[in-house]
Amino acid sequence: MTIDKSDHDFDFAPIKLKMQNYIDKGLLSCISTVILRGTDVLDVQHLGFQDLERKSVLREDAIFRIYSNTKIITSVALMQFYEAGRFRLDDALSTYLPEFADMQVLNPGATAAHDLNSAKGPILIKHILSHSAGLSYGHFEPDSVIDQLYSEQGIGAVMEGGGDLEALSQQVASLPLVYEPGTFWRYSVATDICARLVEVLSGEKFDSYLRDHIFTPLRMVDTDFWVPEDKVHRFTTLYAPTNLMDPMNTALVKHDDAISGRFNSPGRFLSGGAGLVSTVSDYLNFIRMIANGGEWFGQRIIKSETLKLMRTNQLAQGVGVNFLMWQMPGTVFGLGFALKSQLSQTDHPDSQDEYHWGGVAGTHSWLAPHADIAGMCFTQRMPGFLHPFSFEFKSMVYATMAGSS
């Protein structure tokens, strides 16, 4: 689908040149970028190749693995039930998912699985929307007690298709929390638990709910949990460097095949945290809906007041977003969005209160409410969050459009 662009006087050529340079140096196989002012698209670029083996030029309707960009969609879906009065943010999660009652929590500094006590308070729904419930992912800190427990319990196997959202919820609830609910931030399977809560509240499978209430009204025709055979020719190949932790390693190898990979057939596990594939035009429709206060194509997806609530910090005083391998200073978390709460010396002033998130393969989206600008950049390189391309794209957009609102 061709994306119509609005007239403007900005010079985005240096940004295109910089992104092309990443491809020319072998750091990226491809990249698509979108720059918006309000809901108007000012610039779109599709650079590089769908696959390095055949050098197939990147299509404008290419399908990408968006991984954790899925989380924002899931959060919006769950907040639709908040709007309908089906739950309150301070409700105990166990009211709707009884398996999460009477949770155990590891003691601070625990060195063994038996070093735990009963949690002092319940997991609240706002905790699973803000990654502050005390859950984990099971692989970001493989030597930690909690991630070893997740591995032993087979959480990864469930998420790779060995079970469904109900099975994941039951297994995660059987494990201890890594900290008291609401006291810290840890990236986790919490958004998959949000997806399970959508299933319970709707009485539908998660994919059916998304299709009826978000994808169809927003004309997201290529967004799904798998790529059918008639669309495989548009599916990108995912690459990774031989050294995953080296962001400037140009020795790229195939990480997931576009024809016979993990997204080429329907799976049991409908991951609300990382399961979707999408196109630039599809996800742009979703971002425009957000930028337009929750409505697009004349379809009200969510109220503007709810979006405003989702952009408010839900973390305890002094707690921020933290990763061992990726620094995000001055960043807190709302109900599905990371929020720029405090600027560093390298941040542009217009980025104050920016809200954003992205996927591990390099699909990033962000919105800057004070500057009324937004951006998207999609590539397929693992792990995308370590690579400087998205940060450089964002900083160049701010520099180009600074003070023009």
CA atoms within 13 A of residue 310's CA, in its CB half-sphere: 29
Are 207 and 270 contacting, i.e. CB atoms less than 8 angstroms apart? yes
Residue 144 tokens read as 């930690």
pLDDT confidence of residue 405: 52
Q: Report the pLDDT value the prediction gives residue 1, as an integer from 0 to 100.
A: 72
* pLDDT at residue 138 in the model: 87
Cα–Cα separations (whole angstroms), residue 90 to 82, 123, 127, 391: 11, 9, 9, 35
Cβ–Cβ < 8 Å for 63, 231? yes
Classify residue 77 as exposed, middle or buried by CB count within 10 Å of its CB (0-12, 13-18, 19+): buried
The pLDDT value given to residue 324: 75
Cα torsion angle, 184, 187, 191, 197, sign: negative
Whether residue 351 contacts residue 330, with contact meaning beta carbons closer than 8 Å, is answered with: no
pLDDT for the residue 329: 87
Please, is 134 exposed, middle or buried when counting C-beta atoms within 10 Å of its C-beta (0-12, 13-18, 19+)? buried
pLDDT at 247: 78
Counting as low any pLDDT under 50, the low residues of the chain are none
